[in-house]
């Protein structure tokens, strides 16, 4: 009996060691048919891997791992809180690796959410149709407000953290990922690091406390990539001044058919002082174009098994 126990322990040890050597973890094996990548946001570093659950034979999974316990501590409660809500990855599993085999890895596994919207945009000619921009904006704001109602702010909304996926019913849906910088909405979190970025609001670049409105402003900046409109340039040291200039006259940057983006930016900033109104925020889309339904399906085509948006 003792021999059997020793052999079993050796077998488990060998399996874990073999998996770690190949950057794999226990029952989760690398799925070579779907891209993997790294994430390197402000203050959040790690790796995302497409994996296969060998125990349940499920392959549409992504495992994110980090050696920073703070990233893990922030992200895991959000994933728990958002289970079952549209627009968010479904938490499948979470665990840490034994320290005996090197640095501790903090891992969690979610379902596959889709492709980065920026990658899809490049494949789609660098821009989306005006109607698709409105549909994407509505879905993104709706998902963020769901997050806010559950008690969190994202604090890092940009093109790399927004995914699109053509689901089994043929409808393209949006998901938000990467909650390594997320914090509870209250008390309003002050930045512990310099969060100045292209997608950050003017208030965040000034170092003010972060609120739901800053997430919403980042969501409004996101579709500007796909027009394309670039009022802030690529020099981080110039972002603050250029955001001040943009804030003074946002309408000057948009053609007439897209001035609704500047109007939406103004609406959110008005609500900073007047108070948040869920109804006013989403009724805005219907007031802008009463003949258009912003909840209608995103229009796309598939070429060579790849998603292309109109």
Q: How many CB atoms lie within 10 A of CB 120?
A: 23
Q: Which two tokens stand for residue 151?
A: 């008690």
pLDDT one-digit tens code per residue, 214-229: 999 999 999 999 999 9
Residue 6: predicted pLDDT: 29
Residue 61: per-residue pLDDT: 92
Residue 24: the pLDDT is 61
**pLDDT (0 to 100) of residue 257:** 92
Cα–Cα distance measured from residue 203 to residue 201, given in angstroms and rounded to the nearest whole number: 5
Instruction: Give the residue carrying structure tokens 């402000």.
Output: 42
Element housing 285 (H / E): helix 278-288
Is it the case that residue 109 has pLDDT exceeding 70? yes
* Range of lowest pLDDT (18-32, 60-74, 100-114, 257-271): 18-32
Q: Are 70 and 91 in contact (CB under 8 A)?
A: no
3-state secondary structure of 303: strand
Beta bridge partners of 29: 52
3 secondary structure, DSSP code: H
The whole-angstrom distance between residue 150's C-alpha and the CA centroid of its chain comes to 16
The rounded distance, in Å, linking the Cα atoms of 222 and 269 is 16
User: Could you give all domains of the chain from N- to C-terminal order, each with its CATH number?
Assistant: 27-111 (3.30.200.20), 115-309 (1.10.510.10)
Beta strand pairing status for 91-96 and 58-66?
Answer: unpaired
The single residue listed with the structure tokens 């512990």 is: 192
pLDDT above 90 covers a percentage of the chain that reads 75
Give the model's pLDDT for residue 36.
Answer: 43
Residue with tokens 């070429």: 303
Segment holding 261, helix H or strand E: helix 259-274
User: SS3 breakdown of the chain: % helix, strand, coil, rounded to 5?
Assistant: 45, 20, 35
Whole-angstrom Cα distance, residue 191 to residue 183? 11
Closest by CA to 117, choosing from 172, 77, 67, is 172
Distance CA(36)–CA(32), nearest Å, equals 8
The CA-atom distances, in angstroms, between 124 and each of 117, 120, 166, 211, 310 are: 10, 6, 15, 33, 7
């Amino acid at each position: 009996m003792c021999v059997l126990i020793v052999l079993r322990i050796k077998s488990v040890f060998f399996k874990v060691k073999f998996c770690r050597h190949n950057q794999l973890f226990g029952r989760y094996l690398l799925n070579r048919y779907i891209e993997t990548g790294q994430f390197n946001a402000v203050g959040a570093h790690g790796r995302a891997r497409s994996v296969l659950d060998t125990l349940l034979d499920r392959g549409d999974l992504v495992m994110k791992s980090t050696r920073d316990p703070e990233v893990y501590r922030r992200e895991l409660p959000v994933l728990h809180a958002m289970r079952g809500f549209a627009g968010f990855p479904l938490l499948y599993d979470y665990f840490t690796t034994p320290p005996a085999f090197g640095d501790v890895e903090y891992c969690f596994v979610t379902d596959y959410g889709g492709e980065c919207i920026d990658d899809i945009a490049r494949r789609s000619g660098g821009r989306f149709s005006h109607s698709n921009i409105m549909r994407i904006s509505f879905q993104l704001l709706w998902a963020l407000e769901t997050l806010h109602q559950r008690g969190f702010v994202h604090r890092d909304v940009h093109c790399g953290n927004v995914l699109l996926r053509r689901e089994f019913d043929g409808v393209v849906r949006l998901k938000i990922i990467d909650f390594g910088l997320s914090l509870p909405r209250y008390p309003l979190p002050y930045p512990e690091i310099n969060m100045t970025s292209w997608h950050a609001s003017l208030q965040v670049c000034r170092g003010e406390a972060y609120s739901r409105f800053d997430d919403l402003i980042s969501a409004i900046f996101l579709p500007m990539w796909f027009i394309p409109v670039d009022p802030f340039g690529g020099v981080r040291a110039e972002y603050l001044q250029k955001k001040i200039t943009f804030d003074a006259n946002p309408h000057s940057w948009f053609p007439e058919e897209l001035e609704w983006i500047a109007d939406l930016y103004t609406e959110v900033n008005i609500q900073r002082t007047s108070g948040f109104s869920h109804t006013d925020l989403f009724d805005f889309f219907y007031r802008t174009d009463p003949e258009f339904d912003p909840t209608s399906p995103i229009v796309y085509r598939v070429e060579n098994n790849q998603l292309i948006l109109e």
